[in-house]
Chain A
Amino acid sequence: MAIVELSKVSKKYGEVLALRDFSLTTRDGEFVVLVGPSGCGKTTTMRMIAGLETVTEGEIKIGGKNVVGMIPRERDVAMVFQNYALFPHLNVFGNLSFGLRLRKVPKERVAEKVRSVAKVLDIEHLMERKPRELSGGERQRVALGRAIVREPKVFLMDEPLSNIDAKLRVEMRAEIIKLQRRLGVTTFYVTHDQVEALSMGDRIVVMSKGLVQQVGTPKELYNAPINLYVAGFIGSPSMNFLRAQMNGDGTVSSGENVTLVLPQDRAAAVVRNGISDAWVGIRPEHLMIERNPGATRNIIKGIVEAVEPQGATTILQINIGQEKKIIAQINEQWGREAGEKLSLTVASELIQVFDPKTERAVN
């Protein structure tokens, strides 16, 4: 267990800047998820913590000790790779015990540790098998086991669930969280899947183009995204963005079909910043169907263009005029049809406003 501190870490490949000024201090035993599209620098960050990649600038401390320049062995971190990277020529026992044997742990102790980890992960019966004789899920467990068995200070996981099927992924997600809580080891988890990030992380670092966009709890990222990028990246389906005119009375409108009342604090901030038009963000799941035909507050009128039933909910693509479309996820199962005219509404406090120049949230 250890606190990991990254201060102003940068990485350059030749002239290409892969990561700029990454700073973050974890709590002991925290589960930190690095999320972003490919090429955003999340894997680079993790590999620098691991010691597989050199640091161009900045400092990385693990348990208070500066590890820049140290080889992986001296850092005492364990990593789970995207394709598991099991040793193909060793059986499961050989894979699990590899690190311990290198550290010259006595044989009986190795066997004991491997057995107890295998029990936790339910892979005791696979000890004699080679990696190629295992299913994807089993390989995943062995890879996890190999990381756990050494009891490292920090776990690093590089998209460990991206190679297994959807159903198993959900199960393994829960299992990894349970395991991490139980062991209490500080963990960095890299993923490009924001759903995975939201469901697993104590804290999430949203990255894009080598820059940290926002660091926060899942709740913070979801409810108070700091800029357009984070707002669009977190949440599924993505947030709707409408370019809207400020009306001066605390309302905004986007075309004749959309008029929204901003929450007071945001309306005040808009006035303070002298913004005349802005991006307004509304999450699809926050839109509801307005059944009262006389309602006038926060109304979005439109025509249903496409219906995607999701089982419990339904996703609607709605044309709101002027070739603008919004997505709404409504709590109805079936029964909506393309061509239907609808009125949607949204609670004022759920409306986000972004400055079009800086792309930052206006609060």
Chain B
Amino acid sequence: MDNLLWRSSKWASKMIAMVIVCLALCWVIVPFLWAIGNSIKTHTDVFRRGAIIPFLQFTPTLDSWKEVLGDPQTLNCLFSSTLVGVGTTALVLLIGTPAAYSLARFEFKRMKSKDITLWFLSQRVMPPVVVLSPFYILLAEIGMIDTWTGLILLYSTFNLAFCVVIMRDIFRDVSKEVEEAARMEGASLWQIFWMIALPLSLDGLIVTAFIVFAFCWNEALFASAVTSQHAATMPTLILASRSTRGVDFSSAGVNTILAIAPPVILSFFVQRYLARGLSFGAVKG
């Protein structure tokens, strides 16, 4: 390692650091290994003691993969998750960014922008389960139980608050003078938003989109309450692995990997924005 601080550290402290890193790695990696391991075991191997290392202690099989991927419901759930995730993200950004921009740039007469933002933030503090029943009844009333639209609307209400709070901070970091320069050049409010503020907040926008998408992708509580078949998402499928015969760990393993993979792959692409965006304006670029 070339880091001077690391090089000048004592041997013992280096050891401690290494141990901590290893522990953290185990913490993160073991569940993945567990899911991968289970996905290539037979139902009996899952419960057999000492069946840990493939080829040595058990014979790996792709039966569960074939079974899960052959099931139209899995593909349907993957599609639902993708559609609901993308749809929610699009809707949230469409409504949330202009709202965030106006809160970042204007003062309202009756209520301060800061107070409105705080109110938005309070929506995130409330435990979601509180509104589970009302939302169910509401969706049932308008006939949107087990529909993609219903789920998108539902997720949008949660994520809108998040998007507004985060994007407001990001827009506040856009130089006012640059926006004024655009105004002097003859840009209207919408043109300033569209041609200046948004492109200059692209990092934050991508990170916000990613987080909103990940939330939708991972959400299980509401999805399992308001969907059953048609609009069911991946997390509900994993929950459904628990049947009358106990938990089907092999297919749960496959489903877990299927559910984890897309956000992980996506995060590789947005990684460079994540590092910058997650500091949320701590360092001005």
Contact with A along B172-185 (1 / 0, CB 8 A): 00010110111111
Whole-angstrom distance between the Cβ of A217 and the nearest chain B Cβ? 29
Indicate if the CB atoms of B199 and A79 lie closer than 8 Å.
Answer: no
Given A88-B200, A89-B200, A81:B177 Cβ within 8 A: yes
| Choice from B180, B183, B186, B199 contacting A103 with Cβ under 8 Å | B186
Residues of A within 8 A of B175 (CB): 83, 85
| Choice from A51, A88, A98 contacting B185 with Cβ under 8 Å | A98
Chain A residues within 8 Å of chain B by Cβ, number: 23
Residues of A within 8 A of B200 (CB): 88-89
Indicate if the CB atoms of B180 and A52 lie closer than 8 Å.
Answer: yes
Since A73-B187, A98-B182, A150-B185 are in contact, a sample of 19 more A-B pairs with Cβ atoms closer than 8 Å, ordered by chain A residue number, is: A50-B184, A72-B184, A72-B186, A73-B186, A77-B184, A79-B181, A81-B180, A83-B175, A85-B175, A85-B180, A86-B178, A87-B182, A88-B178, A88-B200, A89-B199, A99-B185, A99-B186, A102-B186, A146-B181
The interface of chain B, by Cβ under 8 A from chain A, is: 175, 177-178, 180-188, 191, 196, 199-200
* CB-based closest 7 A-B pairs: A99-B185, A85-B181, A73-B186, A85-B177, A79-B184, A89-B199, A102-B186
Whole-angstrom distance between the Cβ of A60 and the nearest chain B Cβ? 15
Indicate if the CB atoms of B184 and A52 lie closer than 8 Å.
Answer: yes
Does chain B have a CB within 8 A of A78? yes
Question: How distant is the Cα of A150 from the Cα of B191 in the complex, in angstroms?
Answer: 18
Given A85-B177, A85-B178, A52:B183 Cβ within 8 A: yes
Residues of A within 8 A of B199 (CB): 89
Residues of B within 8 A of A72 (CB): 183-184, 186
A and B contact pairs by CB, cutoff 8 A, 19 listed: A52-B180, A72-B183, A72-B186, A73-B187, A78-B184, A79-B181, A81-B177, A81-B181, A85-B175, A87-B196, A88-B178, A88-B200, A89-B199, A89-B200, A99-B185, A102-B187, A103-B186, A146-B181, A146-B185
Question: How distant is the Cα of A99 from the Cα of B188 in the complex, in angstroms?
Answer: 11
Residues of B within 8 A of A89 (CB): 199-200
Contact with B along A94-137 (1 / 0, CB 8 A): 00001100110000000000000000000000000000000000
Question: How distant is the Cα of A35 from the Cα of B180 in the complex, in angstroms?
Answer: 22
Q: Which of A35-84 contact B (CB under 8 A)?
A: 50-52, 71-73, 77-79, 81-83
Instruction: Look across to chain A and name the residue whose beta carbon is closest to the beta carbon of B191.
Output: A102
Whole-angstrom distance between the Cβ of A355 and the nearest chain B Cβ? 43
Question: How distant is the Cα of A82 from the Cα of B186 in the complex, in angstroms?
Answer: 19
Residues of A within 8 A of B181 (CB): 79, 81, 85-87, 146
Question: How distant is the Cα of A83 from the Cα of B184 in the complex, in angstroms?
Answer: 15
Whole-angstrom distance between the Cβ of A300 and the nearest chain B Cβ? 49
**Which of B178, B180, B181, B183 has the largest number of chain A CB atoms within 10 A?**
B181
Question: How distant is the Cα of A85 from the Cα of B200 in the complex, in angstroms?
Answer: 13
